[in-house]
């Protein structure tokens, strides 16, 4: 194997962080909307009214009568309970982030983390954008609670991990480039957008880049129709990072197919890198996630790629039945 399982203690801490983050996300998506308003009493022309304020907008709920008072008491009690839960969850995450940052749990570069959290907050991750490219491996490690060997990561899995720390690859459809640029400008106003015809690169002053591949529609890009996984990974400071990306067995098969294309083009180094990525991820899937895979998963994958499915499985098994050297 070219990965190792994280320790039981690390897994427990990671699970605490993930669960706390998912609860916060659920509150934001549901309770946050329900209790967004601020209620207060105000006297108008000698009569007390219950006022509701949301942002800069204010309206009268009703004058002070028993059923309005009961509504006020119930609302404020439930609102306070939600606020206390949010405070407790944030404290829990803050407490454990230091343990995560000192552990062997794989961590996502800060620039990517900021973007992915923002996309999720705005409801765009998984609905308009999914993650592709090398950063998917962070999600696979987190999903399976493993860590790919450092030597392999530096040389093969992350293709000298420096590359993954300076870029993020997203998939979308035509028009999504405008949405993405707007999001990135809210994070960092130095982002500039380049490209056309469905391929865009957005780069900031620190040379961190986001590559966006847009299709005419979902049906025209098989990668937008295949199974995905949702995972909570962690960034450099130990805080959670949401991921929605290609399922690992689909990603591995795609990388193997790429390696064959590079071989035909006499690009041996790239072919070797992609094949080792495919072998390592395939082995991890087989050992840790095999029960989750069905033949239907490959329905949307082009035949030219699925043709290599059995060959990849055979070569990956042969690769890990002997000592693996880089």
pTM comes to: 0.85
Nearest CA-CA partner of 26 in 95, 85, 92, 111: 85
Q: Where are the beta strands (DSSP E) in the chain?
A: 3-5, 38-44, 47-54, 57-63, 107-108, 130-132, 146-148, 167-173, 192-196, 199-203, 209-215, 228-235, 240-246
Instruction: Tell me the C-alpha distance between 235 and 109, whole Å.
Output: 6
| Sheet with 57-63, edge to edge strand ranges | 38-44, 47-54, 57-63
pLDDT tens by residue, the chain, 326 residues: 577 788 899 999 999 999 999 999 999 888 877 888 999 999 988 899 999 999 889 999 999 999 999 999 999 999 999 999 999 999 999 999 999 988 888 888 889 999 999 999 999 999 999 999 888 889 998 988 888 765 544 454 545 456 667 889 999 999 999 999 999 999 999 999 999 888 999 999 999 999 999 988 777 789 999 999 999 999 989 999 999 999 999 999 999 999 998 888 878 777 888 888 888 888 888 888 766 677 788 899 999 999 999 999 888 888 766 433 32
pLDDT score at 213: 93
pLDDT of residue 71: 95
CA 30 – CA 34 distance, rounded (Å):
6
- Contact assessment for residue 99 and residue 221, using Cβ atoms and an 8 Å cutoff: no
Residue 325: per-residue pLDDT = 34
């Amino acid at each position: 194997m070219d990965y190792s399982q994280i320790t039981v203690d690390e897994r427990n801490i990671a699970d605490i962080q993930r669960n706390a983050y998912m609860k916060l996300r659920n509150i934001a998506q549901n309770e946050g909307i329900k209790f967004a308003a601020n209620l207060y009493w105000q006297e108008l022309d000698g009569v007390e009214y219950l006022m509701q304020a949301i942002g800069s907008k204010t309206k009268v709920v009703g004058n002070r009568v028993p059923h309005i008072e009961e509504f006020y008491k119930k609302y404020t009690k439930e609102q306070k309970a939600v606020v206390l839960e949010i405070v407790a969850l944030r404290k829990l995450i803050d407490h454990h982030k230091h343990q995560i940052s000192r552990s062997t749990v794989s961590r996502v570069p800060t620039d990517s983390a900021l973007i992915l959290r923002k996309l999720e907050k705005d409801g765009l991750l998984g609905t308009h954008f999914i993650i592709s490219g090398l950063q998917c491996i962070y999600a696979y490690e987190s999903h399976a609670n493993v860590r790919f060997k450092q030597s392999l990561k530096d040389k093969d899995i992350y293709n000298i991990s420096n590359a993954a720390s300076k870029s993020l690859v997203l998939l979308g459809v035509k028009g999504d480039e405008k949405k993405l640029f707007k999001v990135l400008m809210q994070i960092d106003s130095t982002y500039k957008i380049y490209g056309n015809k469905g391929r865009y690169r957005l780069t900031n002053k620190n040379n961190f880049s986001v590559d966006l591949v847009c299709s005419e529609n979902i049906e025209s890009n098989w990668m937008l129709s295949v199974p995905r996984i949702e995972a909570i990974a962690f960034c450099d400071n130990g805080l959670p990072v949401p991921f929605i990306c290609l399922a690992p067995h689909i990603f591995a098969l795609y990388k193997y197919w790429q390696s064959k294309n590079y071989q035909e083009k006499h690009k041996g180094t790239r072919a070797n890198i992609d094949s080792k990525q495919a072998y390592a991820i395939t082995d991890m899937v087989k050992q840790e996630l095999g029960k989750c895979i069905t033949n239907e998963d490959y329905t949307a994958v082009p035949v030219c790629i699925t043709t290599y499915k059995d060959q990849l499985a055979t070569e990956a098994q042969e690769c890990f039945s002997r000592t693996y050297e880089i």
